[in-house]
Amino acid sequence: MRLENQQPKSIPLLTQDQRLKWIKELLTGDGESLHYRVAGILVLLYAQPLVKVAVLPTTAIVAASGDTRISLGAEPVPVPEPFGSMLEHHLHHRPNLGTASRMAANPWLFPSRHPGKHRHTRSIVNRLSAVGINVLGARDSALRNLVAEMPPPVVAQLLGFSDSATTILPGDGKATGMQANSHCDATQAGRRLIDPHN
């Protein structure tokens, strides 16, 4: 038996224009259910892996006085409008729950049809792929854009990544060009996270 040395497949990255186009489509389009659109935006805006998105608890969303934040890392980060309103609407109208008591009993932001369970990652990947989003490419593109705007350790802290995930990006083995010991005010960095036009 002979094993061939296989090269890892490269993941096609989205350009910033493609990423913004998908964010706009998921915010305003009606080609997909709200919960899948919310999951897709979490990938495109905050570079979240769908494995993590699927298990987000409802307590990760903090909304008060028109200010919506989401806990993905060390501290809640701002959620820009109109995504903030969309996320709040989803929180209060999650699918597969039917009654107020079932809604209160299920802790997941993306509940499954099975009581007390969260939606399976594969079902989210399949739906987003079906509309044309390359989930890995979208996540990598979002992460590259974020670390181009802020020091990688700050991105890691705010979004719940390891430092190595933001210092050496998947697929290229090169440092981002920002020193790992760069420092930046986390609140200011959190505000920069919400503007994908940078």
Say if 5 falls within a structural domain.
no
Has residue 140 been placed in a domain?
yes
At 31 the pLDDT is 74
Which stretches in the chain have pLDDT values below 70?
Answer: 1-11, 97-105, 168-198
In this predicted structure, what is the pLDDT of residue 21? Answer: 94
Domain presence at residue 27: yes
Tell whether 82 is covered by a domain. Answer: yes
2 belongs to a structural domain: no
Residue 183: inside a domain: yes
| Share above pLDDT 70 across residues of the chain, in percent, rounded to a whole number | 73
pLDDT value, residue 65: 81
Phi first, then psi, for residue 154 (nearest 5°) are -70, -45
Count Cβ atoms below 10 Å from residue 109 Cβ, excluding itself: 25
Domain count, the chain: 1
Residue 169 has a pLDDT of 54
Say how many residues make up the chain. Answer: 198
DSSP notation for 10-55: PPPPPPHHHHHHHHHHHHH--SS-HHHHHHHHHHHHH---HHHHHT
pLDDT tens-digit map of 15-44: 889 999 999 999 998 878 899 999 999 999
Torsion angle of alpha carbons 62, 68, 71, 75, nearest 10°?
Answer: -100
Q: Is residue 176 part of a domain?
A: yes
User: Where in the sequence is the domain holding 143, given as residue range(s)?
Assistant: 16-193
Q: Is residue 162 part of a domain?
A: yes
Residue 34 near residue 91 (C-beta atoms within 8 A)? no
Neighbouring residues of 126: CB distance < 8 A, sequence distance ≥ 6:
none
C-beta separation of 45 from 142 below 8 A: yes
Residue 90 belongs to a domain with what CATH number?
Answer: 1.10.443
The pLDDT, as a whole number, for residue 95 is 80
Q: What is the pLDDT of residue 5?
A: 54
